[in-house]
Structure 1
């Protein structure tokens, strides 16, 4: 894996920053000349990951969300989204469709399933009380056709 380019951003876990995060990652990925479908996939996966940080990791408090994105050889993008929130006690269960820890019933519990469906690879690592790291990879543009 050769890193062609890299960017890092961090921002407060506020709902209004979710759009900023997905736009920043998509703008960074533009170098790979992704198609409309690739951009939609990236936007959705990043939105879901950041929303998980806001809703679940920090649970009504504020913290910092960090995103690292890398352009790799073979037109692949690597995205790491990290929080220092409450952590996930049971990652396997949290990744099951329809499972949610949100106190209200307006959450569908599909965040990880959506990320997994739009990306080529999804990895979730978490430590209770220390936070969670979501890593996603996807081939874009001509390499994905």
Structure 2
């Protein structure tokens, strides 16, 4: 590990942007491609939105923690909530599955996160919360140009 950061905030929708910008700034130190940066932002947005909407069911007093670790050109980010947990992780990861269809949730969050990360891990305990961890190798723009 050559750098790390931790950010803790309330489960309010306006804080999704805060998490996205903090992780983007952290990843930007590696000089990623625009696509890599965009993919990281999307994963963070999906994971934080899931924590707010599903983990805390919109309770703005819940707490979300984002912990990012940089190990040379590999980024590992964990997004943790202490919400209701996921009863069936495999079912939740199925494309188009949602427990919130009444608020127009597409059910594609995990599918998107998996497609944009090199590795995605979901751990959850009912009544204790969920941790979504993704890793992504960053190919520096400087490396690609030389």
Structure 2 contact 122–131 (Cα < 8 Å) conserved: yes
Indicate whether 1:20 and 2:18 are aligned: yes
Q: Superposition pairs for residues 17-56 of structure 1, below 5 Å?
A: 17-56=15-54
- Give the TM-score of the pair, scaled to structure 2: 0.93
The 4+ residue runs of structure 1 with deviation greater than 4 A are none
- Partner SS for 1:89: coil
1:22-75 CA distances to partner (integer Å, 9 max, x unpaired)? 1100101111110100111001010000000010000021300000001013x0
CA contact (8 A) 2:11 2:58 kept: no
Q: Structure 2: give runs of 5+ residues left out of the alignment.
A: none
Mark the runs of 5 or more structure 1 residues left unpaired by the alignment.
Answer: none
C-alpha deviations, 1:77-101, integer Å up to 9, x for none? 0000000000001000000010011
RMSD: 1.4
Alignment partner, residue 120 of structure 1 = 118
